[in-house]
Amino acid sequence: MVDVIIVGGGPAGMGVALNLLRAGRGVLILECNAFGGQMATSPRLENVPGIKSISGVEYSDQLFEQITDLGAEFELEEVLEIKKNDKTFKVKTNYNEYECNAVVFANGCSHRKMNLPKEEELTGHGISYCAVCDGAFYVGHEACIIGDANTALQYALMLSNYCPKVHIFALFNRLFGDQILIDRIRNDSKFDVTFNVSLQEFIGDSELTGLRFKNTQDNSEFTVNTNNVFIAIGQVPHNQPFKDLIELDKNGFIITNELMETNVPGIFAVGDTRKKDVRQVITALGDASVAAVMVDRYLRNL
């Protein structure tokens, strides 16, 4: 029996653990892959206040050391099922079963990928899924974006602040974002939109040097020389196993209020796994601070 089980060991999960441990609560973190989450794949973090620049792995290691020094327990196990039993929760993993008084989902989500060769190797070396995180590394360079909805268009507008040209590559024959964003793209010569194309290949060995596309209308192919591409084709949350336990939105993200509470008393959600507009390390840490206060309050009222 433990006070709180945190599902996920990214910045949100470790942030909740840090604050709860400092409040004297017992914490068990269950992580199915590796601590740090998506943050650990970032070569540089430069938008964390008070830290000029740090790699995602280094920052993750520092957080992990901080919480384990405070007594956090952790297991590398995948959570398969959670059941509420009166005022406690039974958490079943691929190896064990646990019981706790409160659950915090911090299991994040994954960027939808192109599923092409070299994608993993070149991520962080020209391939990025977050223009907010990595866009400033390409000041003065022409930027490339793959995507056709709001995230892609917002990335394009942001990159246009310091990139002389932004190339948008769309799979279909139109853009699907908000009309105000589409109008801004159409009415600015900084943007170049290519429709009806499908990415076929990432070119480059240790660094991205180009992209090979196929025109889906006539099957012709062309290559774009570039040192960057921002992929914005959606995100995939990992909440389907819990759809009968907590309320999810149509895309599978957990619905919470501003206090990080779900529709089930005693279950909270933080970071990228919950429905929200901005997904960054610092917003995950902000969620974590709020959730920790609310979890502690919930436990005191049991």
DSSP sequence for 235-251: EEE--GGGTTTS-B-TT
pTM of structure: 0.76
Neighbours of 11 (CB within 10 A): 33
Distances (CA, A) of 131 to 30, 135, 163, 261: 29, 4, 12, 29
Name the superfamily (CATH) of residues 119-231. Answer: FAD/NAD(P)-binding domain (3.50.50.60)
Residues of the chain with CATH 3.50.50.60: 2-111+235-300, 119-231
pLDDT tens-digit series, residues 254-281? 999 999 999 999 999 999 999 998 888 9
Res 122: pLDDT: 96
Residues 6+ positions from 264 with CB-CB distance below 8 Å? 84, 245, 246
Q: Which CATH class is domain 2-111+235-300?
A: alpha beta
Q: What is the C-alpha to C-alpha distance for residues 238 and 193, in angstroms, rounded to an integer? A: 32
Which H or E run includes 17?
Answer: helix 11-22
Residues 6+ positions from 187 with CB-CB distance below 8 Å? none
Mean pLDDT, residues 58-77 taken together = 95
Which H or E run includes 261?
Answer: none
Alpha helix segments (H runs only) across 26-165: 56-69, 119-122, 131-134, 150-159
Band of pLDDT at residue 289, cut at 50, 70 and 90: very high
pLDDT tens-digit series, residues 91-143? 999 999 999 999 999 999 888 899 999 999 999 999 999 887 889 899 999 99
Asked whether 108 and 117 are in contact (CB, 8 A), the reply is: no
pLDDT tens-digit series, residues 144-174? 999 998 889 989 999 999 999 999 999 999 9
Which residue is it, tokens 């599978």?
A: 252
